[in-house]
Amino acid sequence: MYMIALILAGGKGLRLWPESRRSRPKQLCALLDERSMLEQTIDRLRSAGAERIVIITGDDLAGEIAGRLLHRADAVEILSEPVGRNTAAAVGLGLAYCQDVDEKEIIGVFPADHHVGDENAFIQCMRRAQAAAEQGYLVTVGIRPERAETAYGYIERSRYEFAAMPEVYPVESFREKPQRDEAARYLATGDYMWNAGIYMGQLGLLKQEFFRFLPDIHAAAQGGYDHCRKQYAALPDISLDHGVAERSRHMAVVPGDFGWCDLGSWNTLSEVLPADEAGNCSSGGDVLLLESENCVVRQRHRSVVLFGVQDLVVVENDDVVMVTRRQCAQDLRRVTDHLEQQERFDLL
C-alpha cells in the first residue's frame, strides 16, 4: 500500500524521567531493545507499506533526531515546529509540506512513542484502515480494551459494521479519560475502545476538515511549509482529536488488537515486560530481587538489588537513581518541576 506517514515526535515524556530528558525525550529512548521508540515506529511503518515517512518534531530536537537517524537519512524527512502548538497544528504543518501531493493520497498520523507487540497484526489493521480511508473516511484505530483503564481516552463505536467493510465501524463519540466506574461501564458494553491517536485519510479530506473546523491552521497550511512556520506561534493550541475528529461526520474506526501500549509511565513497563511469580518486572540484565513484590526496575549500568520491598519503581540511570512508589509514578512531572525551580538543569 502507498501512504505518507506523519510521525508526531515533539513530546517530552516527562513521566519517564530520568530516562527521558529534554535532549533525549521518550521517543529517543531505547526502553525495550537497542532501537529507540522512534526507530521502532519507523521500521513498523515501513513494514506496513509507508513509502514516505515524515517526522514532525520541535526545532530544539530536529538536530538530535537527524543525527540519530543518519543511517536512515534516505528513508525519512524531518520537519520542525518553531514552538509546540499541540497535534492539530503539527498535522497542519505536515499538510503544508504535502501541498504538491495528489489529494487522493493517503496520509497517516502516528505517535512516535507507542509500543506494538504484534507487528503482523498491526500491518493487517493498517491495511483495513487504509481501505476505509480510500473509500472517503477519516479513519482512527481503536484498541480493544483489556481492563477498565482511566489513563486513556475512549472511542465509542457503532454496533454495526459498514456493509462493505468488515471490521470497520462508524464512530458514535469520543470520550475523555473516565473515572474508574465509568471505565468499567465502557468495558462491560463492548462498544468502547482505547484511543491510540492514530488517524488515516485522504489528503483532500483532511484539508476539507481543517477548513471546516480549524480555518486558521488550514489558511497557514495553504501558504506552504515556510509560511506555516512563520504563522505557527499564533495557531490554535488544540489536539487533532478535539479539533477535527470529535467534530467530523466522516469518522470510522478500525479495532486493533496488536499488543499496543502507550508506555506513558514507568508503571506501563509491566504491560510489556515478563513478570516473575511475585509480580516484579525488570529491564536490564543485572537486577536481583529478593523477598520483593510488584516492583518495576529499569537497570542500565550499576547492579540493582531490591530486598524486602513492595510496589516500588526503581530507575538506575547515568547520573540519577530514582525511587518512588508505583502509585506516584504518574506524577513525576512534580519532580521535574521541582528540579526546574531549583535550576538543576543538569538533571533535566
pLDDT tens per residue across span 322-335: 999 999 988 898 99
Phi, psi of 316 (to 5 degrees): -105, 120
> What's the CA gap between 214 and 228, in Å, rounded?
14
Q: What average pLDDT score do residues 67-94 get?
A: 90
C-alpha span between 217 and 91 (Å, rounded): 9
Q: Decide: residue 326, CB within 10 A, 0-12 exposed, 13-18 middle, 19+ buried.
A: middle
The C-alpha cell 504535502 sits at 98
Residues 6+ apart with CB under 8 A from 180: 148, 150
Residue type, 236: P
Q: What is the pTM of this model?
A: 0.92
Q: Distance between CA 244 and CA 171 in Å, rounded?
A: 13
Plot region of 103 (φ>0 → left; ψ -120 to 50 → alpha; else → beta):
alpha
- Tell me the pLDDT band of 151, cut-offs 50, 70 and 90: confident
pLDDT beyond 60 at 316: yes
Q: How far apart are CA 334 and CA 15, in angstroms?
A: 9
110-136 pLDDT per residue, tens: 999 999 999 999 999 999 999 999 999
Asked whether the predicted pLDDT for residue 18 surpasses 70, the reply is: yes
Concatenating the DSSP letter of every residue in 140-191 gives EEEEPPSS--SSS-EEEE-SS-BTTBTT-EEEEEEEPPPPHHHHHHHHHHS-
- Give the residue from 231, 234, 207, 210 showing the smallest Cα distance to 220: 231
Quote the CA–CA distance of 252 and 24 in Å, as a whole number. 35
* Cβ-based neighbour number of residue 302 at 10 Å: 10
Instruction: Note the pLDDT tens digit of each residue in 333-346.
Output: 899 999 999 999 88
pLDDT bracket for residue 103 (50, 70, 90): very high
Bond from prior residue into 236 cis (ω within 30 degrees of 0): no
What phi, psi does 167 have (nearest 5°)?
Answer: 65, 30
What is the reported pLDDT for 73?
63
Q: How do residues 158-181 score in pLDDT, each as one tens digit? A: 999 898 888 999 999 999 999 999
* C-alpha separations of 248 from 19, 162, 187, 192, 240 in Å: 38, 17, 25, 18, 11
CB of 80 within 8 A of CB of 58?
A: yes
Lookup: cell for 150: 482511566
Most distant CA atoms of the chain, gap in Å = 63
pLDDT of 69 reads: 87
